[in-house]
Amino acid sequence: MGKEKFVYNTQTLRYEKVEESTTQRVLRVLGFICAAVATAFLFTLAAHEWLPSPKEKALMDEIEFMEANYAELGTELERLRAVLNKVQERDAYAHRMVFGVDPIDQGVWEGGVGGHDKYEGLRQYSSGDLMASVQQDIDKFKRQLDLQSRSLDTIINLAKEKEEMLASIPSIKPVRSDKLPRSVRLLSGFGRRIHPIYKVPKMHYGIDFTAPSGTPIQATGAGKVVKAGRGSGYGNRVIIDHGFGYETLYAHMKRIDVKVGQTVKRGQQIGLVGNTGASTAPHCHYEVIHKGQKVNPIHYCLDGLSPEEYQEMVQAAEMPNQSFD
């Protein structure tokens, strides 16, 4: 039973019992309930703010872990980009110094992608700036990797072309060094020489390599035989197209061992030294033609000689003696 309330009546000089109406009772109960609800709400709000639930705590730990990993990923990306930049520097060196072509333009290498902010959706989160920065670095790294991959493909193709060119350009003597006399006093070189038959100065467009009749003659570079047979003044002769603007001619042969259209390799036997055509002694008359112009073959005879022997051969080839053809 609830406590009864009395008030003192000064007129009647008596304590009188206070009777509470139903409305007052209802209002008092409602007020208590509202105060309790408000207190509970404030307590719950404070608890969520300063005392997270286990689930919220787990989510907060996960976010913190994710941020730390994103930061570490950004650092690792910077390291990988530094390595890729070193690769790109070597790539540029290979393009410029080895193959003589332009490397990847630096503006293209460092350039970004224009238009709207593609990372706008990430920036709305609390860690959005970090995530957007890392994602931007990843996209740039992927783009540079693609550029570098295509550049390396270009280098491989250039290297293959360079390898083919090096194998094709004439670079050895038409007669093997071990089949030639070590003395080069009888060498007749490129320039004006006394014609052995007409006894008048004439332009000699090749080098005459003296060797016994029947000595093997070799292709001085890889290529395709374009002529094989008799030639005016040359006797039996072979012409090889090496590509890249180079052709070589081998004349006065005793025997021809190749046919027109045949592909030959450097060092492959193509015939034998002879004395056919306008010739006064067994030898191989050798010419080098570059882009339609006959050039001095001495610069394409680089095998089997020491620097001193090569210099001796150059000097002998320049002497104004009589040619053999």
Can you give the pTM of this predicted structure? 0.55
The sign of the torsion formed by the CA atoms of 92, 94, 98, 99 equals negative
Higher pLDDT, 314 or 104: 104
Q: How far is CA 52 from the centre of its chain?
A: 55
pLDDT exceeds 50 at position 139: yes
Please state, for a pLDDT cut of 70, what percent of the chain lies above it. 72
Q: What is the pLDDT of residues 259-290, one digit of tens each?
A: 999 999 999 999 999 999 888 889 899 999 99
Spatial separation of the C-alpha atoms in residues 298 and 185, rounded to whole Å: 15
User: DSSP label at 115?
Assistant: S
pLDDT value of residue 51: 65
- Extract the runs of DSSP E, i.e. beta strands, from 72-199: 191-194
Q: Helix (H, G, I), strand (E, B), or coil: what is residue 177?
A: helix
Burial track 41-54 (b if 16+ CB lie within 10 A, e otherwise): eeeeeeeeeeeeee
Comparing C-alpha atoms, which of 224, 216, 203 is closest to residue 287?
Answer: 203
Torsion of CA 307, 309, 314, 317, to 10 degrees: -170
73-77, 143-147, 321-325, range with the lowest pLDDT: 321-325
For the chain, the average pLDDT equals 78
pLDDT value of residue 188: 64
Spatial separation of the C-alpha atoms in residues 254 and 264, rounded to whole Å: 19
Task: Indicate the helix (H) or strand (E) that contains 15.
Answer: strand 14-17
pLDDT exceeds 80 at position 95: no
Q: What is the pLDDT of residues 210-246, one digit of tens each?
A: 889 999 999 999 999 999 999 888 999 999 999 999 9
pLDDT value of residue 120: 66
Higher pLDDT, 254 or 194: 254
DSSP per position, 186-253: T-B-SEEEE-TTT-SEEEE-SEEEE--TT-EEE-SSSEEEEEEEEETTTEEEEEEEEETTEEEEEESE
pLDDT value of residue 150: 80
Higher pLDDT, 131 or 208: 208
Contact indicator for 309, 303 with CB cutoff of 8 Å: no
pLDDT value of residue 314: 60
Spatial separation of the C-alpha atoms in residues 189 and 109, rounded to whole Å: 52
pLDDT value of residue 185: 47
Contact indicator for 122, 128 with CB cutoff of 8 Å: yes
pLDDT exceeds 60 at position 68: yes
